Amino acid sequence: MTLEEVKQTVRNIPDFPIPGIQFKDLTTAFLNPDALRTMKEAMVALYKDKGITKVVGIESRGLIMAPAVAIELGAGFVPIRKPGKLPGEVIEETYAKEYGTDTIQIHKGALSEDDIVLLHDDLLATGGTMLAAIRLCQKFGVKKIYVNFLTELDGLEGRKVFDPSIEVTSLFHFPDK
């Protein structure tokens, strides 16, 4: 299965989670084991020579692909979750997103200055969630951060919020918002 064939399985759900949002639903791609394998292999190919030591997946759909990619890269997996989901001490970051504010957390001690991090989430819209995740990782003083999305809504120009020194990749691009 090609990436273009996988992209064709992504369905559009209008007015979710609020009116005016055109939600790109990747759960339809996740149903197909060939699509899952294609996405995983594409991500591994992008990062196999980058020295990744930790793959950080962002709740909720970023937690789906990140562990599989971590295994293939020989890296550890770190979850970033919403408040109340991680046991133990956490560091948190509150941020604005396209339809409100939110907070994400990571375990204290999850990363170190020696880590090269791949941050992964399913969708780049305005970039607020990923920017907060980047700030969380930077608090650990990691060596380098790479950013990956399965899907990017190009019309929202979310990648413009990231520092140009951070490499940002997306497997699928959709022109709409």
Q: Which residues are catalytic?
A: 61, 98
Q: What are phi and psi of 146, to 5 degrees?
A: -110, 150
DSSP-derived secondary structure for 34-69: HHHHHHHHHHHHHHTTTT--EEEEETTTHHHHHHHH
Place of tokens 């001690």: 109
Tokens representing 170 are 């997306």
Helix (H) or strand (E) holding 23: strand 22-25
Q: Are 78 and 106 in contact (CB under 8 A)?
A: yes
Tokens representing 126 are 């305005």
